[in-house]
Every structure is written in C-alpha cells, then in structure tokens.
Amino acid sequence: MINVAKTAGFCYGVKRAVDDVYKEIENGKKIATLGPLIHNRQVIEDLASKGVYAYDSIEDIPSDHTVVIRAHGVPRAVYDKMNGREYIDLTCPFVAKIHKIVSKHHKEGYQIIIVGDKNHPEVIGINGWCDNKAVIINDVKSEIDGNLASKDICIVAQTTINRDFFGEIVQNVKKTCKSTLVFDTICSATTARQKEAVELARESDFMVVIGGRESSNTLKLYEICSRFCETILTESKTELDKRRILRHNRIGVTAGASTPADIIK
C-alpha cells in the first residue's frame, strides 16, 4: 500500500515563482534569476535548457536581461543596486511579510533574532532588512548572550523551520531576555506538511521523502519522518532501490515545497 501526502509538492510561493518564470519564457522575454529559482535540480536544468540561467549577483546578469528575484527574497541592498534595471519580484508573500516586520522593529530599536540557518538564502535576505545586525540562532543548545538581556528583542523564524524547534529556542531566549516580541513567521504550508509527515510516518513502515538535498524544508521532512520509521531522501526515481522499498507493506510518500508534481508521480 502506498500513501502519498496531500500536502506534498509545490507550496504557493514556489508555484507562483515557477509559473511566472515560465510565462515570461513563453512571452519571449530575456530573463535571469538571482540565485537558483528553487531548490530543485530538474527545474533548474529545464530552465537552463530554455536559456534562463542563475547568477550570484546583479552585476553578473547581462544588461539586456530582466532580473528575477526568487521566492526566498533578497536583502534590501539588492533593490538599491538595481539602478533602474527592470526586475520581477517573486519574493514569497510570507517572506516579504518578515522583511516588513524586521525592518520596522529594527528602526524602532529592537534587536532582531532570526531562528534559522544563517547560510540559507531566505535568512540572508531577512538579515539584510535590519542592516545585517540580526542574531541568528539555529541550535537549541546555543547559549544566549547575556548582553541581550537589557535589550528589546524581536524574534522571527525562517519560514521552513520546525515549529517545535522554534518554540524551544523562543523559550531559551525568554529565560535570558525579559523584553521579547515573538512573531511566529513559519509558513502555514510548512506547518501542515510537517504535521502530515508525522501522521503518515507513524502509519508507515517506510517513508520516501522527495526533494532537493539543498532544500531546507525537504531536509526537515526527512528528519521528522526518520523519527518514526525507515526513511530515504531522493531527488529522482533513478535513485530508488525498489528491492529495498518493496520489502515493506505500508509505504508513505511526501515531498518538499520545491518538488514538481510530475516528479512525485
């Protein structure tokens, strides 16, 4: 028996970004993405076959191309560097909301704390809306600097982190810092996908998690499912060991937010 999670696959922000880029391609527009559009190798390769490439900086993008800002969002400084260039902003609305929260409270004198991976493009983008002065925490064992105790704290979360993990870190911060303002900015789709992954893994003998190995939310799904049953992470069907899978009776399948429906099928 194979059960596929209802929430598996593209979230709203990723679907919107991918759909809009393909529309621009169909319209014959010259576009280039600032960083890989999504964390999915097959989609990136398909875009490259259509002449849409990812660049690390605006300066590297040909001047006759329209710049595409991906769903992860970018620091405020990136917009300042546009210098009149045409661009398409596909920042996920959930991420854009965090930018506004961080910018507002930083200006009001709050110390921003971001719970997330400092190397993830979304977190780098968020930090860029508070002059890159955020404290970034990604470990429940991290000691909270005593210097923060006297400051007004504003806490936000990377949209794709585990909710329980976020809650633990918030409690740790509150033990040291008396004045804390907490914004639970975890995406609702992430929460639903993680909750369903728990339920599905508990009912399964074996879980297949589909998605890019660079995808934060996919890795979180893998970690969650691994707590309850044997689990594998795969990017494509060619990686599957069918003999290993078919030894099990109840197989669950879920996928990250950057995984296209045809790959899941």
Catalytic site residue from 24, 26, 45, 122: 122
With vertex at residue 222, the alpha carbon angle to CA 217 and CA 227, rounded to the nearest 5 degrees, is 130
* CB count in 10 Å sphere of residue 216: 26
Among candidates 148, 160, 151, 156, which has minimal Cα distance to 130? 156
Per 3-state DSSP, what percentage of the chain is helix, strand, and coil (rounded to 5)? 40, 20, 40
Long-range contacts of 230-234 (CB under 8 A, 24+ apart): 230/205, 230/206, 231/201, 231/206, 231/207, 232/206, 232/207, 232/208, 233/209, 234/208, 234/209, 234/210
Residue 159: closest CA among 133, 196, 193, 131: 193
Residues 82 and 80: their CA atoms lie apart, in Å, by 6
What tokens appear for 17 in the block? 């970004």
Question: 111 near 154, Cβ under 8 Å?
Answer: yes
Q: Which of 220, 165, 156, 214 lies closest to 189, judged by CA?
A: 220
Structure tokens at 140: 């429940």
Examine the residue annotation and report whether 122 is marked as an active-site residue of this protein.
Answer: yes
Q: Catalytic positions, please?
A: 122
